[in-house]
Structure 1
Amino acid sequence: MSTTNVGVRSEALTTLLANKTAGSPALVVTIILAGLIVICLRFFEERSQYPLANPPRWYQIRFFKQLEFLTKGSEILSETRKRYGDKPYRLLTELGEVLVLPPGSAQLIRNEEQLDFSAAITDDFYGHLPGFEPYALLQHDGQVVQTLVRKQLTKHLSIVSEPLSSEATFAARSIFGDDTDEEWKGICIRRAMLDLVARLSSRIFLGAELCRNQEWLDITKSYTVNSFAAALRMKLVPQFLVVPYSWLSSDCKRVRQNLKDAEHVITPYIERRRSLKAAAESTGTPLPEFDDAIEWAEQESKGVPYSPSIMQLLLSFAAIHTTSDLLTQTMLRLANKPESITLLRKEIVDVIRSEGLGKSALFHMKLLDSALKEAQRIKPNSFLVMRRLATQRIVLPGGIVIRMGERVAIDAVNMVSPELYSHPEEYDIFRFLRMREDPKTANKAHLVSTSPDHLTFGHGIHACPGRFFAANETKIALCHLLLKYDWKLADGASLAPVHTVGVMTTLDPANKLLYRRRKEEVELDHLLVSSKE
């Protein structure tokens, strides 16, 4: 698989710095020659035919424009949309230069194998550097992660509802308490949802023994935050300084420490499992059975070496923060519309009384499904979605040329377009339920559906393979949150303005909700999945 020039240069510099036997003069000469080669390569590389929307002034370097985009990304993107309309253009973002394609191009690139999502993540998060190895695992020869999620996690959806609901009972009691008094209590909803999702996801990824290990839960929450912050800062560092910066940066040191801590927690657990299996094989007794992502990874690796701790951190990166963001957004929107909570409770209770809380029941919670998809629509995680890296030169239908090594993304403006969604600024929990009931739009109205009009989960061959699990996980979490507690916005909580960091969007992380315990209409704590599953 091809890599970008940036990755090649960084790896070369890593090798040079690691060669402690090299004499200083030789090292200087080598670096100078390498620099000359890079300059020559840049001179002869293909020039883009598309304009750079935010070029630096003659006295500036690109760093200043990237820094500006970091703090003013929303305004810059809004202005460039007006200027270029449906035409491609290049943009200097905090992630570097990106070729921005109009929303309609999502259909053109959706199944383009040479536009690689895994390569983009590996490059954006410096997967070749120590401590950032989880981001390189996506390009593992055996495609262990992708196969695990598509094959094993999706296949097991019918049996994960029970452990997820059981863990939600424990987590809700731990995070929100179980007091039945009438007093309203305040909580930072973003932090609470992060804790909740970390526990639920770890129950499926790690099993019952490790999912409540507080050290592991802290690692899963902090690794993504630390690695994202470190990668973001390295994007603002000249490329030839990235490697030395990574060894001196306190951010990168924390990332490497997170990885060491993860190995410390996971490795003994894995070794104990393998010992139990070996002992059973030697004595001819039945092998112990485990039904979690650790075991699925062992099966899907097919003997190809991989690190279980790195695997688990990658799963956490992919699942925990995006899902907790969706739950946070949904809870804030619902707390702002108490009548919506009443309607959702009725649907949840009716479905559970009829079907239990299995895969089929979750599918039939159609209003809840619509409420979640609407929360995604009104505040996507990013302005630019379907991030890809071109592993070779590509010419799309219509003549759009994408150079080898070029970063590509789709503008997510369709998700808030008044031409596609009436009153797009309003949170309407019925929006996608109405679409679901219309044969013309039903196929793109489900939470897990993807289309150029709703790209939160991506689109095409690189659409998020874990979205089916995420949908069930969030629905189970909301069943517990809405039936067990009353909710309202705390004083000072706000749904606007949306805070932006480069291409990313988020609500105020300090937002608080008020909650109090209520008597749920159906007993969730000991609810069994319907036998019809």
Structure 2
Amino acid sequence: MSTTNVGVRSEALTTLLANKTAGSPALVVTIILAGLIVICLRFFEERSQYPLANPPRWYQIRFFKQLEFLTKGSEILSETRKRYGDKPYRLLTELGEVLVLPPGSAQLIRNEEQLDFSAAITDDFYGHLPGFEPYALLQHDGQVVQTLVRKQLTKHLSIVSEPLSSEATFAARSIFGDDTEWKGICIRRAMLDLVARLSSRIFLGAELCRNQEWLDITKSYTVNSFAAALRMKLVPQFLVVPYSWLSSDCKRVRQNLKDAEHVITPYIERRRSLKAAAESTGTPLPEFDDAIEWAEQESKGVPYSPSIMQLLLSFAAIHTTSDLLTQTMLRLANKPESITLLRKEIVDVIRSEGLGKSALFHMKLLDSALKEAQRIKPNSFLVMRRLATQRIVLPGGIVIRMGERVAIDAVNMVSPELYSHPEEYDIFRFLRMREDPKTANKAHLVSTSPDHLTFGHGIHACPGRFFAANETKIALCHLLLKYDWKLADGASLAPVHTVGVMTTLDPANKLLYRRRKEEVELDHLLVSSKE
């Protein structure tokens, strides 16, 4: 963690509280001392020149405003936009105080190294607490996670199509079956299962990717750590550590981590033993081509935990990718004519090129449909969250204090000034933009711009977005060609769950599906079209 006022405050409170038990006299003294520390630190902090949009009333403490934002974030953000327009302002969110910058500022901060994404994530997900170590790995001295994704995962895109498609065949049959009669399924849960299987195939290799215990752990850790971190936002900062030891949510997270080590460690040790034996006998080293091996190469001898690494990769892949697939499937099921058009493109491309990297690139309508699903319902309306490691003055005079949290308002993604009829799901929207030279460079699913910030923008843009794009396209090829889809009764496309500024559709939404005869044999064609 960077040495910021926020970091110092967090470390001081953690040290004070780490060995105290709830209800003891020592804890009372600790709380008083913690309060004095906070007051002293605030006294010496640089004052912000920007207004606090939702200040507590005279009889309230800031925590109550953070709690209010957790349940009414969208309304509060909508109201503050009207008040401040394109001017920066501060907002008390479930994560604490955040300096909110207008969408155009994404260009200004995109390459600011002093605005630390890793530090923000580590802080948001309590990387200093036992069980949450995967989030602290982002600040590993060797930057092993970031290097693995940028260098190795992206480099191997040309060879991951076949294992992904092979696993999609197995996973689709396992999750959906081959029944030609209409059946219902919770689409969110199904996409979570599907993405966990596909991602594990690339991260862990063929031997472990179908290990049900591991698949359950990755899904559970993703859900449990997110839920636990969210609930800890409701706890005053100085009580987070004792709460984490008493909370059943956090206990589940710690157990998930122990279970992960139990599964992964013997596997890693066996690999290392095979390599050592080969070296001692002078025989060729066994070859492995998955994220376990890539991490061994990129760590360059710097110690790290393979199980922690795998959980972090799984969280990053499963949470966002399964959400994108869920949103896309719901939108498409609501417009059956879109499915027909996408099937035609998929079949035409596969018959011409197979299902390799180049073929996926040429599925332009599918690419547009995915990007449109991201646009119409962003995961969050405060994006590019960063933590300032030093004082920064941006062009135009915007001052960001050291230790300050920063976020960009993603309102551009639903702006009628940028997107005609932004409330409508239009699978052709980004295809049209792609055909216009003025907008072509920001119309691809993996493109980033201030007008579409789902993947971030600049040096901290999601490095795994190229893999995620290929993974989602392969998944949709199997889902759309092999099954018919329609909305179940009661399914809704209206955002119903809002946590802070995060939005989601009803997680209980169901789709109806039935097996159909696909126009092309995906696996058969893939074998003859390796790249």
TM-score (normalised: structure 2): 0.97
Superposition deviation, residue 5 in structure 1: 3.4
Closer/same/farther in 2, CA of residues 84 and 264 from structure 1, 3 Å limit? same
Inter-partner Cα distance in structure 2 for 1:498 and 1:425? 16
> What runs of 5+ residues in structure 2 fail to find an aligned partner?
none
Superposition deviation, residue 13 in structure 1: 3.9
Superposition deviation, residue 494 in structure 1: 0.8
Superposition deviation, residue 29 in structure 1: 7.4
Closer/same/farther in 2, CA of residues 239 and 30 from structure 1, 3 Å limit? closer
Q: Residue in 2 aligned with 1:128?
A: 128
Inter-partner Cα distance in structure 1 for 2:144 and 2:80? 39
Closer/same/farther in 2, CA of residues 438 and 134 from structure 1, 3 Å limit? same
Superposition deviation, residue 31 in structure 1: 7.3
Superposition deviation, residue 8 in structure 1: 2.9
User: Residue deviations 1:468-519, cap 9 Å, x none?
Assistant: 0000000000000000000000011111144211121100101100000000
User: Residue deviations 1:205-256, cap 9 Å, x none?
Assistant: 0111111111111111111221122212222222221111111111111111
Superposition deviation, residue 33 in structure 1: 5.7
Inter-partner Cα distance in structure 1 for 2:291 and 2:111? 27
Q: Which residue of 303, 324, 333 maps to 1:305?
A: 303
Superposition deviation, residue 179 in structure 1: 2.6
Question: Could you tell me whether the CA contact under 8 Å between 2:21 and 2:242 is conserved in 1?
Answer: no
Closer/same/farther in 2, CA of residues 31 and 292 from structure 1, 3 Å limit? same
Closer/same/farther in 2, CA of residues 354 and 256 from structure 1, 3 Å limit? same
Inter-partner Cα distance in structure 2 for 1:202 and 1:454? 28
> What runs of 5+ residues in structure 1 fail to find an aligned partner?
none
Superposition deviation, residue 16 in structure 1: 4.1
Closer/same/farther in 2, CA of residues 27 and 380 from structure 1, 3 Å limit? closer
Question: Could you tell me whether the CA contact under 8 Å between 2:20 and 2:27 is conserved in 1?
Answer: no
Inter-partner Cα distance in structure 2 for 1:283 and 1:327? 48
Which deviates the most, 241-250 or 343-352?
A: 241-250
Question: Could you tell me whether the CA contact under 8 Å between 2:178 and 2:514 is conserved in 1?
Answer: no
Superposition deviation, residue 22 in structure 1: 17
Inter-partner Cα distance in structure 2 for 1:21 and 1:318? 34
Question: Could you tell me whether the CA contact under 8 Å between 2:13 and 2:34 is conserved in 1?
Answer: no
Question: Could you tell me whether the CA contact under 8 Å between 2:491 and 2:509 is conserved in 1?
Answer: yes
Question: Could you tell me whether the CA contact under 8 Å between 2:355 and 2:529 is conserved in 1?
Answer: no
Superposition deviation, residue 520 in structure 1: 0.2
Q: Residue in 2 aligned with 1:202?
A: 200
Inter-partner Cα distance in structure 2 for 1:451 and 1:89? 22
Closer/same/farther in 2, CA of residues 529 and 17 from structure 1, 3 Å limit? same
Inter-partner Cα distance in structure 2 for 1:297 and 1:192? 29
Closer/same/farther in 2, CA of residues 426 and 33 from structure 1, 3 Å limit? closer
Question: Could you tell me whether the CA contact under 8 Å between 1:355 and 1:530 is conserved in 2?
Answer: no
Question: Could you tell me whether the CA contact under 8 Å between 2:135 and 2:312 is conserved in 1?
Answer: yes
Question: Could you tell me whether the CA contact under 8 Å between 2:144 and 2:295 is conserved in 1?
Answer: yes
Closer/same/farther in 2, CA of residues 230 and 348 from structure 1, 3 Å limit? same
Closer/same/farther in 2, CA of residues 6 and 404 from structure 1, 3 Å limit? closer
Question: Could you tell me whether the CA contact under 8 Å between 1:145 and 1:311 is conserved in 2?
Answer: yes
Inter-partner Cα distance in structure 1 for 2:105 and 2:225? 31
Which deviates the most, 102-111 or 247-256?
A: 247-256
User: Residue deviations 1:170-222, cap 9 Å, x none?
Assistant: 00000000234xx1000000000000000000000011111111111111111
Superposition deviation, residue 151 in structure 1: 0.2
Which deviates the most, 38-47 or 481-490?
A: 38-47
Closer/same/farther in 2, CA of residues 43 and 125 from structure 1, 3 Å limit? same
The secondary structure found in structure 2 opposite 1:387 is strand
The secondary structure found in structure 2 opposite 1:376 is helix
Question: Could you tell me whether the CA contact under 8 Å between 1:450 and 1:459 is conserved in 2?
Answer: yes
Closer/same/farther in 2, CA of residues 418 and 305 from structure 1, 3 Å limit? same
Inter-partner Cα distance in structure 2 for 1:239 and 1:340? 48
Superposition deviation, residue 70 in structure 1: 1.2
Q: Residue in 2 aligned with 1:160?
A: 160
Question: Could you tell me whether the CA contact under 8 Å between 2:95 and 2:124 is conserved in 1?
Answer: yes
Inter-partner Cα distance in structure 2 for 1:373 and 1:396? 30
Closer/same/farther in 2, CA of residues 51 and 186 from structure 1, 3 Å limit? same
Superposition deviation, residue 60 in structure 1: 1.1
The secondary structure found in structure 1 opposite 2:529 is coil
TM-score (normalised: structure 1): 0.96
Question: Could you tell me whether the CA contact under 8 Å between 1:370 and 1:430 is conserved in 2?
Answer: yes
Q: Which residue of 457, 468, 477 maps to 1:470?
A: 468
Closer/same/farther in 2, CA of residues 530 and 85 from structure 1, 3 Å limit? farther
Question: Could you tell me whether the CA contact under 8 Å between 2:5 and 2:41 is conserved in 1?
Answer: no
The secondary structure found in structure 1 opposite 2:523 is coil
Question: Could you tell me whether the CA contact under 8 Å between 2:183 and 2:514 is conserved in 1?
Answer: yes
Closer/same/farther in 2, CA of residues 396 and 529 from structure 1, 3 Å limit? farther
Question: Could you tell me whether the CA contact under 8 Å between 1:3 and 1:119 is conserved in 2?
Answer: no
Closer/same/farther in 2, CA of residues 97 and 513 from structure 1, 3 Å limit? same
Question: Could you tell me whether the CA contact under 8 Å between 2:18 and 2:241 is conserved in 1?
Answer: no
Inter-partner Cα distance in structure 2 for 1:427 and 1:24? 56
Which deviates the most, 34-43 or 13-22?
A: 13-22
Question: Could you tell me whether the CA contact under 8 Å between 2:34 and 2:238 is conserved in 1?
Answer: no
The secondary structure found in structure 2 opposite 1:525 is helix
User: Residue deviations 1:297-356, cap 9 Å, x none?
Assistant: 000000000000100111011111100000000000000110110000000000000000
Inter-partner Cα distance in structure 1 for 2:245 and 2:95? 20
Closer/same/farther in 2, CA of residues 25 and 70 from structure 1, 3 Å limit? closer
Closer/same/farther in 2, CA of residues 50 and 524 from structure 1, 3 Å limit? same
Corresponding position: 1:340 with 2:338: yes
Inter-partner Cα distance in structure 2 for 1:73 and 1:198? 30
Q: Residue in 2 aligned with 1:409?
A: 407
Inter-partner Cα distance in structure 2 for 1:329 and 1:26? 49
Closer/same/farther in 2, CA of residues 33 and 381 from structure 1, 3 Å limit? closer
Question: Could you tell me whether the CA contact under 8 Å between 1:87 and 1:102 is conserved in 2?
Answer: yes
Closer/same/farther in 2, CA of residues 10 and 349 from structure 1, 3 Å limit? same
Inter-partner Cα distance in structure 1 for 2:30 and 2:468? 49
Q: Which residue of 378, 387, 394 maps to 2:385?
A: 387
Superposition deviation, residue 86 in structure 1: 0.3
Superposition deviation, residue 374 in structure 1: 0.4
Question: Could you tell me whether the CA contact under 8 Å between 1:2 and 1:392 is conserved in 2?
Answer: no
Superposition deviation, residue 39 in structure 1: 2.3
Superposition deviation, residue 361 in structure 1: 0.2
Inter-partner Cα distance in structure 1 for 2:513 and 2:9? 53
Which deviates the most, 411-420 or 67-76?
A: 67-76
Closer/same/farther in 2, CA of residues 21 and 340 from structure 1, 3 Å limit? closer
Aligned-residue identity in percent:
100
The secondary structure found in structure 2 opposite 1:328 is helix
The secondary structure found in structure 2 opposite 1:97 is strand
Q: Residue in 2 aligned with 1:118?
A: 118
Which deviates the most, 210-219 or 169-178?
A: 210-219
Superposition deviation, residue 527 in structure 1: 3.2
How many residues of Structure 1 are paired with residues of Structure 2 in the alignment? Answer: 531
User: Residue deviations 1:129-165, cap 9 Å, x none?
Assistant: 1111111100100000000000000000000000000
Inter-partner Cα distance in structure 1 for 2:218 and 2:467? 18
Corresponding position: 1:43 with 2:17: no
Inter-partner Cα distance in structure 1 for 2:21 and 2:126? 26
Question: Could you tell me whether the CA contact under 8 Å between 2:222 and 2:318 is conserved in 1?
Answer: no
Inter-partner Cα distance in structure 2 for 1:137 and 1:399? 34
Question: Could you tell me whether the CA contact under 8 Å between 1:447 and 1:471 is conserved in 2?
Answer: yes
Superposition deviation, residue 35 in structure 1: 4.8
Which deviates the most, 243-252 or 293-302?
A: 243-252
Closer/same/farther in 2, CA of residues 124 and 26 from structure 1, 3 Å limit? closer
Closer/same/farther in 2, CA of residues 238 and 34 from structure 1, 3 Å limit? closer
Closer/same/farther in 2, CA of residues 5 and 520 from structure 1, 3 Å limit? same
